[in-house]
């Protein structure tokens, strides 16, 4: 088989790229190792910057999002028993959108099914070949048979544990990483959100986050040790601990109920440079991971896809390679700004077990300064809603 762009990974990044290229008349083939059912049910991020919302609309998959999304004009920080609202819209003129990644996945999958895009699910043993030549290839197994796809270019959108980044020689790629000593224990429940906007809580017992997927479905997180076993957290224990970490008025209003999903996600900051090797381009989690504190993971992936789609369209429409040649540098400039913000937000809101008494007092002072300074709030707000593309 032959195609113009082979895409490894059928999550939001891979399917969004395939959608944008398809609308431009560029042929693609997408390889995904998971089943469609798994992808539709996978619980992931839910906060979108306006640039991501606009890109989904441009891709023709924004109709349901526009109808069902929640628009948040602010966000709250809770510490020392109080709640302090950051007025995102008032400070920046922009808002953020709540719309679950699983819903984006469904919208993209439905759009590709309607147009007949070549998406291969349950593709096993995917491997990349000939990346520095003019005829890269993808090989995989499906249904007991071997298959090969000849491509002009390959986009690696297969996540942190995927094969694309591993195809780049170790002497070429440089890794920057910080692994945090804690993770997020998350719970999803069909309960009314405790607040109409997100609450980031810094408490003596550790960080907590109150968010939602809709006005009837809530998502809550607790900071826990990185090696925590989710089996040790029955629902009753989770709700009790959450109430201890959030302000008393929020705890009193909290609606509890049985969990419909529960998991522990480790936190890390990770960047792989460069994001291009020969005819392979990395996008999304294949190239970078941010702590979820700043809500940047999916939005960074969407920015990568926007840049890569523009570069490939420029190449196929007029032979212009400037955007392809500048792809890695352009993405990484944005990636490192998001890394800085996510790292800062994590340090601001979490309890680090190794922190000294001095560091804890300095953290408390920074939170107090943020609550009292419009200039400090502006810095947080402009990063939170998303820096200009």
Q: Is 72 a catalytic residue?
A: yes
Residue of 12, 72, 99, 220 with catalytic role: 72
Q: Is 384 a catalytic residue?
A: yes
Q: Is 200 a catalytic residue?
A: yes
What separation in angstroms does the CA of 12 have from each of 7, 53, 107, 169?
12, 13, 10, 26
Residue of 12, 136, 247, 292 with catalytic role: 292
Q: Is 277 a catalytic residue?
A: no
CB 284 within 8 A of CB 159: yes
Instruction: Give the span between the Cα atoms of 203 and 79, in whole angstroms.
Output: 6
Instruction: Give the span between the Cα atoms of 307 and 157, in whole angstroms.
Output: 14
Residue of 140, 220, 316, 384 with catalytic role: 384
Q: What is the CA radius of gyration of the chain?
A: 21
- Dump the DSSP string for 24-36: TT--EEEEESS-H
Cis peptide before 274 (omega within 30 of 0): yes
β-pair type (118-121, 75-79): unpaired
Instruction: Give the span between the Cα atoms of 118 and 367, in whole angstroms.
Output: 50
Residue of 180, 200, 221, 316 with catalytic role: 200
Instruction: Give the span between the Cα atoms of 117 and 124, in whole angstroms.
Output: 19
Q: Is 292 a catalytic residue?
A: yes
Residue of 112, 296, 315, 350 with catalytic role: 296
Active site residues: 72, 200, 292, 296, 384
């Amino acid at each position: 088989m032959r195609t113009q762009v082979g895409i490894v990974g059928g999550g939001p990044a891979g399917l969004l790229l395939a959608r944008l290229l398809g609308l431009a008349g560029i042929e693609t083939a997408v390889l995904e190792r998971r089943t469609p059912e798994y992808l539709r049910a996978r619980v992931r991020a839910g906060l979108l910057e306006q640039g991501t919302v606009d890109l989904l609309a441009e891709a023709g998959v924004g109709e349901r999002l526009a109808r069902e999304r929640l628009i948040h004009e602010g966000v709250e920080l809770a510490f020392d028993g109080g709640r302090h609202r950051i007025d995102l819209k008032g400070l920046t003129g922009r808002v953020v959108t709540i719309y679950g990644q699983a819903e984006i996945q469904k919208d993209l999958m439905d759009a590709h099914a309607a147009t007949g895009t070549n998406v291969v699910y349950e593709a096993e043993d995917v491997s990349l070949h000939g990346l520095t030549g003019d005829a890269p290839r993808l090989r995989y197994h499906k249904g007991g048979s071997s298959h090969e796809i000849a491509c002009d270019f390959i986009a690696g959108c297969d996540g942190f544990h995927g094969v694309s980044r591993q195809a780049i020689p170790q002497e070429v790629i440089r890794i920057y990483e910080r692994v945090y000593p804690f993770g997020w224990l998350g719970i999803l429940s069909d309960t009314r959100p405790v607040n109409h906007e997100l609450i980031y809580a810094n408490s003596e017992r550790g960080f907590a986050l109150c968010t939602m997927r809709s006005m009837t479905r809530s998502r809550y997180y607790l900071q826990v040790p990185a090696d925590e076993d989710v089996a040790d957290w029955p629902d009753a224990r989770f709700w009790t601990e959450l109430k201890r970490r959030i302000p008393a008025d929020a705890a009193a209003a909290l609606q509890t109920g049985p969990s419909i999903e529960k998991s522990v996600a480790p936190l890390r900051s990770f960047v792989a440079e460069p994001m291009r090797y020969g005819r392979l381009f990395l996008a999304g989690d294949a190239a970078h991971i941010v702590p979820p504190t700043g809500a940047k993971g999916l939005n960074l992936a969407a920015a990568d896809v926007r840049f890569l789609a523009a570069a490939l369209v420029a190449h196929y429409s007029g032979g212009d390679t400037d955007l392809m040649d500048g792809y890695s540098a352009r993405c990484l400039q944005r990636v490192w700004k998001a890394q800085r913000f996510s790292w800062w937000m994590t340090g601001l809101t979490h309890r680090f077990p190794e922190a000294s008494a001095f560091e804890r007092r300095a953290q408390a002072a920074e939170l107090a300064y943020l609550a009292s300074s419009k200039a400090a709030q502006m810095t947080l707000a402009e990063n939170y809603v998303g820096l200009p593309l």
